[in-house]
Chain A
Amino acid sequence: GAVVSQHPSRVICKSGTSVKIECRSLDFQATTMFWYRQFPKQSLMLMATSNEGSKATYEQGVEKDKFLINHASLTLSTLTVTSAHPEDSSFYICSARSISTDTQYFGPGTRLTVL
């Protein structure tokens, strides 16, 4: 139980294009999902909290217009990196909060490379 999937696992794109990453809770409903960014050999940095049916809450310093988050259902949240640049290259991880266990379960991550 408590499986979270992410798609795609890897993506390479050209500078200026937009990339959408999906995060799904497969066997539980998640009213709250989180998006993190992780640079090599560093810890996870929370980017935003995604709440089903409402606007995401972004952490300080994270550009809302750059990183668009949509949480349209209790099992799906998407992160769109708009007009990607090489500095956006990173490992993006989502997590979903299980109400029953009050624990965050993480997806396998998406490695984004912007050329």
Chain B
Amino acid sequence: AQKITQTQPGMFVQEKEAVTLDCTYDTSDPSYGLFWYKQPSSGEMIFLIYQGSYDQQNATEGRYSLNFQKARKSANLVISASQLGDSAMYFCAMREAYSGTYKYIFGTGTRLKVLA
């Protein structure tokens, strides 16, 4: 069965430092997509970055990059030059292509706190 695991319930990082949020997944589907979302205290889910299972290069979006290690089934989010506004809950999600439902499976989330 498909599964997403985020093992870090909470993380602290100093402002301007880089931080890595872990995400591992399990699927038997050869075609899948991996997503990261940010959820600030206001509640909205903000899309950050996407990685397709067949993508040759790691995805990057501004200060966000995804360290995709397919053999290890990991898709860690790297935030460079952390800012106070990065403090939020971060969710990793996976979508399997063959299911045809486009459903996402979410991890339990990591709460990031950026320290001044």
Residues of A within 8 A of B (CB): 2, 32, 34, 42-44, 46, 49, 57, 91, 93, 95, 97, 102-109, 111
Contact = CB atoms under 8 A, between A and B. Distances in A.
Nearest to B101: A49
B43 A103 contact: no
Contacts of B104: 34, 46, 104
A109 B44 contact: yes
16 contacts: A32-B102, A34-B103, A34-B104, A42-B108, A43-B106, A43-B107, A49-B102, A93-B45, A102-B33, A102-B102, A103-B47, A103-B50, A104-B35, A104-B104, A106-B44, A106-B45
Contacts of A2: 47
Given A43-B106, A43-B108, A57 B101 contact: yes
User: What is the interface of chain A mostly: helix, strand, loop, or mixed?
Assistant: strand
B102 A108 contact: no
Interface residues of B, number: 19
A91 B43 contact: yes
A97 B101 CA distance: 11
B64 interface: no
Interface in B48-107: 50, 91, 101-104, 106-107
A104 B103 CA distance: 9
Nearest to A31: B102
B107 A111 contact: no
Nearest to B111: A41
A108 B44 contact: yes
A108 B42 contact: yes
Contacts of B43: 91, 93, 108-109, 111
Contacts of A57: 101
